[in-house]
Structure 1
Amino acid sequence: MIAEPVLTHRAEGGHDVPLLVWRLPEPAIAISSAVLGGGIGPCRWLVNATVPMSYDRGDPAAHLREIAAGLALSGPGVGLLTGVDVADVVHAGDGGVRIWATVGLGAPVQAADAGAGVVAPHAGTVNVVAWVPRRLSDGALVNAVATITEAKTQAIRELGLAATGTATDAVAVLCPPGGAAADYAGPRSQWGRRLARAAHRAVLDGGAVNLAGVQSWSERRAIAG
């Protein structure tokens, strides 16, 4: 079982910047599209770190390694970045599946939009971390990422946006390394439908709050002075 993430802060640029940390009690198998720890492999920890909306570092993976080192995290892990204040993380569960989402919809895009190369004026990222309590085969792990992405897009459409997500969205799915592997995680499979329901609920709830005008961390910092 994966525990709730811990909300902590790091000192950076003269500010206390929030981040979420999952320290896994036992190694897990992860599939991720994250800039750090992407692909399929073992995982001992995850970080979802807030960055300023003006973030322009050209070495985000190295930056995340610095953050992990500052937290004394060792071994393989997954690192995510977002302009959203990660204190606004939304959790949802379904039949043993657990989802945590930080939802920023300031720059929604259509994946196949002809203008996809245009840089949006405001950053926005939807990061989803998922736990499945059953070992998934490699194919099922890929399937799980697709299922979560479909559920995310469904939620975004239900929020009234003609979009499939944002240009910087990321997903990480974790499962135990042992036991008989489930071969499927599509939306009508046992684990896929639970992932879909939980991801849909988390993105729908988090997106509604975000679109209601909750400030990014950068905006909150500016208001606080």
Structure 2
Amino acid sequence: MFAEPSLTHRREGGHDVPLLLWRFPEPLLAVSSAVLGGGVGVREWLINASVAMSYARPDPDAHLSELAAELGLSGPGIGLLTGVDVTDVVSASDDGVQVYATVGLGAPILAADPSAVGFGHEPGTVNIVVGIPQRLSDGALINAVATATEAKAQALAELGLSATGTATDAVCVLCPVGGPAGGPVAAYGGPRSRWGAPMARAVHRAVLDGGATNLATRRSWSGV
């Protein structure tokens, strides 16, 4: 259902810049907060591309569309950007749920910090991609985004950070377009639901492992 990503590169600024590419064997239903392909709908591919921490393009959606065109991708897809090297992607699975996370923690924030002013945009970014093997209802898909975010925040707390994420984090949850063999659509995506519980565990593990590596090495993509 959910293919492994392939690692490719694009030539930019005289450097080979890494990029993760998923080509789904069949279209999937997705809910995403991504700047390209966000919302709820059927998607055929997903890219997660490294950019420099100095990245300041005002049109990241157009940039991602350009990258997709260069890769020969067509149809609806999802595009993510991150300030970390995507070769450091961490995967985790639990009871049929597959998670991939690129974890950049160079600019952690508290979502409700009263001292925060404006949009302090730095593309450190925690990007989370989740594959679930059963069709979820639209409500369950949205609930799953909340569950993944809660699991991420739990991992950050266990890493010793007073943070809920970064200002540019993104979550993508994907599932089959149709129910398995005509079976029922899952109605719930909360942390104690059939798919929400293993998803929370897998997201927690991926962010915990990826975050520990990122904090230990402070690896960001600085090749462009």
Regarding TM over 0.5, the answer is yes
1:181 aligns with 2:185: yes
Q: TM-score, normalised by structure 1?
A: 0.95
Alpha-carbon spacing, 1:38–1:114, altered in 2? closer, same or farther (3 Å): same
2:12 paired residue number: 12
Q: Deviations over 1:151-207 (max 9, x none)?
A: 000000000001100000000000000012100010001100011000000000000
Residue 64 of structure 2 corresponds to residue 60 of structure 1: no
Secondary structure of the corresponding residue to residue 217 of structure 2:
coil
Specify the alignment match of 1:110 in structure 2: 110
**Alpha-carbon shift at residue 214 of structure 1 (Å):** 4.0
Which deviations, in whole Å up to 9, do the C-alpha atoms of 1:80-118 show, x marking residues without a partner? 000000000000000110000000001110000012226
Q: How does 1:1-225 map to 2 (within 5 A)?
A: 1-117=1-117, 123-179=123-179, 180-218=184-222, 221=223
CA contact (8 A) 2:101 2:210 kept: yes
Q: Which sits farther off after the overlay, 61-70 or 112-121?
A: 112-121
SS at match of 1:212: helix
**Count of aligned residue pairs for this structure pair:** 220
Higher relative contact order (CA 8 A, sep 6+): 2
SS of aligned partner of 1:217: coil
Give 4+ residue runs of structure 1 displaced > 4 Å after superposition: 118-123
Residue 41 of structure 1 aligns to which amino acid in structure 2?
A: G
Alpha-carbon distance between aligned partners in 2 of 1:188 and 1:132, rounded to the nearest angstrom: 15
Whole-angstrom distance in 2 between the partners of 1:56 and 1:90: 26
Q: 5+ residue gaps in structure 1?
A: none
Contact kept? 1:107, 1:120, Cα under 8 Å: no
Q: Which moved more, 1:160-169 or 1:108-117?
A: 108-117
Cα distance in structure 2, aligned partners of 1:6 and 1:43: 17
Tell me the TM-score normalised to structure 2 length.
Answer: 0.95
Are the structure 2 counterparts of residues 26 and 99 from structure 1 closer, same or farther at C-alpha, using a change threshold of 3 Å?
Answer: same
Q: Is the 8 A contact 2:93 2:99 kept in 1?
A: yes
Report if the CA contact (8 A) 2:94-2:199 is conserved.
yes
Deviations 1:126-148 (A, max 9, x none): 00000000000000000000000
The 1:140–1:61 alpha-carbon spacing in structure 2 relative to 1, beyond 3 Å, is same
